[in-house]
Amino acid sequence: MRLSTVILPVHRWGEGRKVWRRAEDLGFHASYTYDHLSWRVPFRDGTWYGAIPTLTAAATATRRIRLGTLVTSVKPFSPIAC
């Protein structure tokens, strides 16, 4: 049986690195995070980091665990805003 886990992107990277490594050390097959534009309680007032930068950092701290997103917010690029 392969088990996966979800790690919320709520940690500064110094602490986040430990969380992702711990998931790998515990033998999880995969670990996921997700991205949201808004939250209800209890996450509404807290820090929430982006899924893609979080996964990029997790990839530098782990070796074998699979990484992925459960939800990714589409943030369109507008050339007019540049």
pTM of the model: 0.78
Q: State how many domains the chain has.
A: 1
In a domain, 34, yes or no: yes
In a domain, 9, yes or no: yes
Helix axis angle, 13-25 to 51-61, nearest 10° = 60
Beta bridge partners of 30: 4, 66
Residue 27's domain comprises 4-74
Q: Which two tokens stand for residue 56?
A: 């990029």
In a domain, 19, yes or no: yes
In a domain, 65, yes or no: yes
Measured CA to CA, the distance from residue 76 to residue 14 in angstroms comes to 30
Q: Tell me the DSSP string of 48-65.
A: ---HHHHHHHHHHH-SS-
- Residues 1-25: tens digit of each pLDDT: 999 999 988 889 999 999 999 999 9
Q: Are 20 and 53 in contact (CB under 8 A)?
A: no
pLDDT for res 80 = 57
